[in-house]
Structures are given as structure tokens and as C-alpha cells.
Amino acid sequence: MTLNRIQYILWTYRRLNVDLRIEIYFVAKGHRESKMGYTHASHIDALNQNIAELSDNINVSFEFFPPSTPQMEETLWNSVHRLKTLQPKFVSVTYGANSGERDRTHSIIKEIKAQTGLVAAPHLTCIDASREELINIANDYWANGIKNIVALRGDIPPGGGAPDMYASDLVTLLKSLHDFDISVAAFPEVHPEAKSAQADLLNLKRKVDAGANRAITQFFFDVESYLRFRDRCVAAGIDVEIVPGILPVSNFKQASRFAAQNNVKVPGWMAKQFEGLDDDPVTRQLVGASQAIDMVRILSREGVKDFHFYTLNRAEMTYALCHTLGVRPKKA
């Protein structure tokens, strides 16, 4: 029995025998709001206890992007060195759509490995490179001891036609060259270009069948969308870890733009909590941290042990979330 199947059975059992039973009880009693009293407090205690028990088994990874100014570069390296102390499973660096940005990705990846000793995983897209270029890039990474890659199709440029290669083809190519550890993308709320949710799921299965080691999801704010997606992956025979991508939000307008571009639902309650805070960055950060902490606690209770954080090159909120999960610097 696979790990995901076990997680699914446990999750279903908990839902049917705990949450649903409590829901039925309080609705029958005619005071649903009472759940926010003792029962709610008990759930919070259970969440905290669950994290305390699992903290030794939780893995984290971090995404960074190539900086475009000296000031942003300083911020990046400050964040890398701060988060390095948490001993992440790996760190990834995004990959631009032109040769200049690609070169920066290569340079930063190699520098992270040299300076920190961390496992560094460059993003690699196939939409804008020939097969020969991809082979050369992959061989160069392998020769430099970089054996983890995030394999992506990449965004089709405006006016571009059907791509010659897809992410599943890239995974096949990489595995034919070397035994890379490969992460691929997954979309709990469906890729914007997918014909249907089922077609999107089958595309993920093709990537996994080609040799991907894990799938990292697009960021999401609705935890249930991730949990339902994970269940569908299990049902489809996708047996790799579905790692949730977590985006800590301190700039709600920016996050909303990201969400609109990527078919990500922004819950009404979330927008309400950020309302009136456009000119109050300190409070925005506190609200965003609170929301993200609730999310990772619930995911942890649901059996998630691997978390991927979209840091936007800033360490503060990600560090706090990891601390909540019990991921902390090792004592000397």
C-alpha cells in the first residue's frame, strides 16, 4: 500500500469519524456557533500537538528568483543564509524566458551550492530551448554536482504556437541523460490552459510516469482544493509526494494578481482580512503570517510532511512558518 493511499484512508477516517460527527452533533443541538468554544479549542490543541509530534519528520524547501538589481541581490543572499540554517531538503531558483535570465539562474545555482552546500535545484524550461541546448545545460549541471532539477514546460510567448516539447518530454530527456532528482509542477485548481481538470491530472501522471520524483503544487489559499486534488492523484495512481506550494502573503494586491494569472481562487474571507491595509505593511504582514500559519497547521494534521515555500526572496515570513512547523536551526 502506497504512502498516499495510507494518507487518504487516514484522512477519510478522521473526516468521517471526528469532524463530521462533531458537525452533526452541534447542528442537531441547534447551536453551530458553540463549536467555536471548547470543541474549537480542542481542535487547536490537537493541531498543535500533531505538529509537535511530527516536527522531526517535516521537510521544507524554498524557491528563490534571480535578482535584477544589486539591492535585490543583497536581499536574496541575506534570505538564503538565514533560511540555510533550517537545513532545507533543497532550494530552487526560477528560470527566465531569455538567455540573460537563464545565465543568472545557472550562476546563482552554482553559487548557492558553493557558498552554502545546500542541495540546489534549478528550474529548467523546454519552451524556449532546443533539445541540444537542453542536453548541454543538463550535462553542465551534472558535471558541476547539481543533480536536482525542477522540470517545467514554461510559458508560451504571445503569438507562439504549439510547443515542440512538454514537461513530460523534458523529464524523459533528463532521465535518459542522468539520474536526476526531478520535481514537476501540479495544479490543484487546474492549469489555466488545461482543457479540463481530468486532462490536467493525466498530464501530471505523464510527468510522473516519465520519472518525476515529486510534484510541487501551484500556490493556493483554499486548503480543501489541495486535499481534494491529493485524493484525485491517489485515485489516478499518482504515487509520488504532492508537495504543497505555500505563498506567504504580505502584499495582498500582488498576491491577487498572481492568483488571477494562475487560476487560483482567492477566498472572500481572505480579501476581507486584508481590507483597508493597503498603506499598513506591518499589519499586512501579521495578517498574512496568521493566515499561512493556519494553513500549514491544517496541512500538517492532514499528513503533509513536505512543504515548498515561495519566498519571493524574503526570509522573514517563511522562517516564522517553518518555526511553527517545528523546523528550527540545529543546536550545536
Q: Which residues pair with 59 in a beta bridge?
A: 306
- Which neighbouring-strand residues pair with 183? 150, 214
Burial class of residue 147 (count of CB atoms within 10 Å of its CB; 0-12, 13-18, 19+)? middle
Gap between the Cα atoms of 53 and 117, Å rounded: 29
Rounded Cα distance, 201 and 230, in Å: 10
Cα–Cα distance, 73 to 53 (Å, whole number): 37
Q: How far apart are CA 238 and CA 208, in angstroms?
A: 7
- On whether the CB atoms of residues 173 and 135 are closer than 8 A, the answer is yes
Instruction: Tell me which residues are annotated as active site.
Output: 63
Q: How many other CB atoms are there within 10 angstroms of residue 156's CB atom?
A: 13
